[in-house]
Chains A and B, each alone.
Chain A
């Protein structure tokens, strides 16, 4: 530190003017403190209000997001999930055109073969073998109604038997 720096340092200290802390200063200072405190409180209140609003909007939107997500999941699921159900739906359709419950497993093939071959040998072969089972499920028509009964009977009662038959056909188809 050279002479000039020493003089500069002393000059800065010597020129200090005593300024008393007057009541006016105190009042002004405390007024500023009150103003700042109020503004801080307002900022805090505003911030918390914004936070609450954001949370409520988020919570309100969340269920919508979930409901939108669910159909997407269902859309993804159907391929594996509907694979068994279409079989149930296909059963009545296959049963309906079939005159006899025996033709459920080769539903598509039975009529085709019947039309092709005249319907005697295939229906006679398969129909005789499977006719006893529907007659057991439908007790009303004893023996004479063998041919007319099959159409009405399969609709309500053959649901279960048809399932069983659909399971069976796989084996019968395997035998074929």
Chain B
């Protein structure tokens, strides 16, 4: 029973790890270490809810947990960092590929938003969620979620106006 549960859970995590990590990176404004911690914590919570959620929508569950934790952890001053023997690999500063450059610019711009604006923008424009679900994930009224998203986009427009045009 436990083995079946672990197998199904591991399959899901292996399949969705990259996407979840990317969402977490967007939600944290490009902080890879924090993103990994968020994904880890969300997946631990998913493990305990797995018997109930496995047959329904585990990814939606993880996403909701991730969004709430990202909004909450942004208010924390200490991120629970622990010393490690090896430093995590960072992006090579000499890597000038366009994708990496764009990602960095995007993450830097997202980092300048408030946590709720960031969450609203990511859920609305990356996950393509309707406003009602964004509001549900944020735990606020639809009008407030719409306001967060529009203000976040306005701020990103201001920051990225020069960066997005060349890509398009």
CB-CB contacts below 8 Å: A9-49 with B: 9-21, 25-26, 28-29, 32-33, 36, 40
Q: Which of A10, A20, A36 contacts B44 (CB 8 A)?
A: A36
Cβ–Cβ contact A20 & B17, under 8 A: yes
Report the minimum CB–CB distance from A41 to chain B (whole Å). Answer: 12
Which residues of the other chain, B, contact A29 by a CB distance below 8 angstroms? 13, 40, 43-44
CB-CB contacts below 8 Å: B29-50 with A: 40-41, 43-44, 47-48
Cβ–Cβ contact A11 & B102, under 8 A: yes
Which residues of the other chain, A, contact B48 by a CB distance below 8 angstroms? 36, 40
Cβ–Cβ contact A17 & B17, under 8 A: no
Q: Is A3 an interface residue (CB 8 A)?
A: yes
Cβ–Cβ contact A18 & B18, under 8 A: yes
Which residues of the other chain, B, contact A19 by a CB distance below 8 angstroms? 17-18, 21-22
A11–B22 alpha-carbon span in the complex (Å): 12
Which residues of the other chain, A, contact B156 by a CB distance below 8 angstroms? 8
List the one stretch of B51-59, B70-78, B160-168 in contact with chain A.
Answer: B160-168
Cβ–Cβ contact A11 & B43, under 8 A: no
- Interface of B, secondary structure class, is helix
Which residues of the other chain, B, contact A25 by a CB distance below 8 angstroms? 17
Cβ–Cβ contact A32 & B167, under 8 A: no
Closest to B18 in A: A19
Q: Is A90 an interface residue (CB 8 A)?
A: no
Cβ–Cβ contact B102 & A5, under 8 A: no
Q: Is B99 an interface residue (CB 8 A)?
A: yes
The number of A-B residue pairs with CB atoms under 8 Å apart is 72
Cβ–Cβ contact A33 & B106, under 8 A: no
A13–B125 alpha-carbon span in the complex (Å): 9
Interface string of B61-100 (1 = CB under 8 A from A): 0000000000000000000000000000000000000010
Which residues of the other chain, A, contact B21 by a CB distance below 8 angstroms? 19
Q: Which of B14, B125, B161, B164 contacts A21 (CB 8 A)?
A: B14
Q: Is A146 an interface residue (CB 8 A)?
A: no
A7–B120 alpha-carbon span in the complex (Å): 17
A138–B26 alpha-carbon span in the complex (Å): 113
Report the minimum CB–CB distance from A26 to chain B (whole Å). Answer: 7
Residues of A bordering B, CB below 8 Å: 3-5, 7-21, 25-26, 28-29, 32-33, 36, 40
Cross-chain pairs A/B with CB under 8 angstroms, 27 sampled: A4-B153, A4-B161, A4-B164, A5-B125, A5-B153, A7-B165, A7-B168, A8-B153, A8-B160, A9-B125, A9-B128, A11-B102, A11-B106, A11-B164, A12-B106, A12-B125, A13-B126, A14-B102, A15-B103, A16-B18, A18-B18, A19-B18, A21-B17, A28-B40, A29-B40, A33-B44, A36-B48
